[in-house]
Structure 1
Amino acid sequence: MIQLTQEALLALIHDASTRAAAQAMAQFAAQHPINPPPPSPRRSQNLSSAPEEEEQRQEEVNSRVSRPEVAQTQEHPFSTAILAEALPTGVKVSNLSEYDGTGDPQEHLDKFYAKIDWYDLSDAAYCKVFRTTLSKRALAWFNQLPAGTISSLEQLTQRFLHHFSMNKRVPKTAAFLFTIRQRENEPLRDYMQRFVEAVHEVPMSTMNCWQALFNEICCPEDSRSQ
């Protein structure tokens, strides 16, 4: 009779359990095979095709962007000749006053001409620059103009002045100067300053303005009786 020590018995049990576990794992693997993952498409691509695909993608983007621009061009108030014009390279027109449709249109136009006199641009380019000065009601007016009806800066500014003519400031006449009276307890210097400021609002010669001032100060009764 063979007697096993405790250590030998434990070794046999461990060896038997290891073989059983290995057999179980082999049987499970045979019944459930594990397929390797498919190779990454990016790795299988030819590196030389990357620039071509990038170029194709850029062309698609440009195509999507250009389509709405074509539709907008067909409905734009400017003629095709104006739309085809571009500012010369490096030219930047800045610090132009904006017109929102509430002020004097002639004053805005005078400021615009004073600014663009520094630039040597084409008539079509000036049309595009003038459009950038419009905002709010003025820009809404421009956008509703019939398509292709603006072919020159003169045509654009004439329509602009005509549409906003109700906002044009009415010049004061010479009679307005005689309504400026010296207030009670008002120093003569302050009164003369107010009068001079009013003179600049009247489109008349300087001599006539100062003559009215002289008559009002030196001969008030005579000037009022006239």
Structure 2
Amino acid sequence: MRPIIGITSYVLPATWGVWADLPSALVPHDYAEAVRLGGGRAVLLPPDDLDADVLERLDGLVLAGGPDLEPSLYGQETGRYTVTHPERDTAELLLLRAALDRDMPVLAVCRGMQLLTVAAGGALHQHLPDVLGHEKHRPGPGVYGSQSAGFAPGSRIATLMGDDTTINCFHHQGVADPGSLTVTGWAEDGLPEAVEDTRRRFVLGVQWHPEVSRDRRLFGALVAAATEGDP
């Protein structure tokens, strides 16, 4: 039986067929397909802040991308460019903390990496152009910024990426303080692009979007960790 990988989801108005602007739990299909190609079975997880009992039925967790985190979670006031969906923050922090307690394999993508950082006691830059002076991490609406990243020798992400270090980013926030996590990847401008929790068997955060390229290296590694046994 394939490992069951839960993917956190957006709640947004969606339109299909004769139905318009219905509140919907969704993620880009790239996430589910990347899990499938990596050898797992994808299950969608709508926001639910009552408990984390669903983890009893899962073997691994993907924290998907999406809107900005509520800045009060890391001790800041909301900036002018920050757009939040607090219901996701509450539900996903509950899931993430329970998954970490169980030593469940976690792959955190973009917003997911930022959530992982905040859960580890870290903090974020709320608008990178104000800090870095450029918009290479989010060149325009629906446009990924393609860059070459550097990785810490011997780290998990360096081993997984190998010689192909091209990353595709779409984010206007980034990690300012990794908290208890270890930064293992950087963009050309020095911004953290990968973090790891080396105390656990598989906890990896990436600021880019490996699901878009169906990257079997990262999703396959998550599924392999989930196959090793019950957390």
Would you tell me which structure has more helix in proportion to its own residues?
1
Q: TM-score, normalized by length of structure 1?
A: 0.18
Q: Relative contact order (alpha carbons < 8 A, sep ≥ 6): 1 or 2 greater?
A: 2
Higher Rg: 1
TM-score (norm 2): 0.17
Decide which structure has greater strand share: 2
